[in-house]
Chain A
Amino acid sequence: MDYINIFIRSIFIDNMVFAYFFGMCSYLAVSKTVNTSFGLGLAVTFVLSITVPVNYLLNDYVLSEGALVWLDNLLGVKEPLFAEFDLSFLSFIMFIAVIASMVQLVEMVVEKFAPTLYSQLGIFLPLIAVNCAILGGSLFMQEREYANLGEATVFGVGSGIGWLLAIVGIAAIREKIQYSDIPAPLRGLGITFIVTGLMGVAFMSFMGIQL
């Protein structure tokens, strides 16, 4: 039951784009056509659903306070030695290292097995490493203290799908809006901001849903 709740929450209520503005840079830059934005959305979903669980394990077994207790048990130390370490100040640099290497891995896999998608995504695939949505997913995972690996994974997948929905939605609107008569200073970036704001208002109607 908890899983479904987290899943729905992360897609609709805590939507990465509309509630926290994560990944706005690529969201605004890539959302010109539906096709490419769908590909980027899939890549982001994929990377999120790998990095959030990996970082969850890293956080649980290495970084947080008392996490290294297994090392004590392994070495057979009587007094707590490693268990007293609190390495959580290192979490930023560890998370970003995991993300950067995962993105590199995904890039190689995609290049090998799906060359067409690879050439479509182009520069945006490596840029996922610096997409705030990915690091934000890991940091929220750490802050909200999910109970187990399953919950963290579901949260990762759900956030990715939420981001995918948002970017495909705005891309479709932008394709249509080209034919509208918008005041000249608002054209392009300005109207995209305002439309995103209105979409955010619409997504807020999901607020308070509990399953």
Chain B
Amino acid sequence: MSSEKEPLFSAKNLKLITTPLGAQNPITIQVLGICSALAVTVKLEPAIVLSISVMFVTVFSNLIISLLRNTIPSRIRIIVQLVVVASLVIIVDQVLKAFAYEVSLQLSVFVGLIITNCIIMGRLEAFALGNKPWPAVLDGIGNGAGYGFILIVVAFFRELLGTGFLTLPGLGAMQVIPDVFYQWGYANNGFMILPPMALIVVGIIIWVQRSRNKDLIES
């Protein structure tokens, strides 16, 4: 077994991390995990915190389910998956409440909703149940990162255009657009803060992505 063991970061394994960032992005291509993604993108800080939480849960749930994959009877696998995911989410929730209470208030129910985030169930079903632990961990990292990437891009534009500030974890809100601009007549677009704009921003991201990569266009 050890003689033909493939290296930890072989080309195939690296691909597991890179494809979800682009051509197999969970949000814009696989249409997974949109539920909780859009509502927390008003500010950059909760978006970053939620991305890290989701990445933690995808990595560890992929790892655990992949380790258990030969012992889970397929009829009750959904319940088993839900229990594993729910326990991980409880850990995330308690850690956030202890160390980042302000952010956990902003995220409110969306931490709990990581349980039903389709990314996690989707990757467990599609990947972790049929693969070894290490590729499953890499797949978790890749998909968590692909999800977080879209979240952070959407939050960046919404907060920048909507308020002129950017909020980073640990740094607080920073004014990015200088006062001079406002004196010249620039105005914040308050519409960007409202929920529907998240959908439209994602729509535009999909448009940009598919214009650059013609293979992704739906017929």
Contacts and interface: CB of A to CB of B under 8 A. Distances in A.
B217 A193 contact: no
A132 B36 contact: yes
Interface on chain A toward B: helix, strand, loop, or mixed SS?
helix
Given A191-B203, A201-B196, A135 B115 contact: yes
3 closest pairs, A vs B, by CB?
A200-B196, A188-B218, A185-B210
B79 interface: yes
Given A188-B218, A194-B200, 10 more contacts: A22-B35, A92-B89, A92-B115, A184-B210, A185-B216, A189-B28, A194-B203, A197-B197, A198-B196, A201-B194
Interface on chain B toward A: helix, strand, loop, or mixed SS?
helix
Contacts of A18: 195-196
Contacts of B161: none
B167 interface: no
A139 B113 contact: yes
B79 A21 contact: no
B72 interface: no
Given A21-B198, A25-B118, A194-B203, A189 B112 contact: no
A185 B39 CA distance: 25
Interface string A61-102: 000000000000000000000000000011111011100100
Contacts of A2: none
B117 interface: yes
Given A93-B90, A130-B121, A189-B28, A139 B109 contact: yes
Given A96-B82, A136-B109, A20 B206 contact: no
Contacts of B37: 21
A149 interface: no
B86 interface: yes
A139 B196 contact: no
A186 B206 contact: yes
Given A25-B118, A135-B112, A100 B78 contact: yes
B82 A100 contact: yes
Contact of A185 (B36, B199, B211): B211
Contacts of B112: 91-92, 95, 135, 139
B47 to A, nearest CB: 14
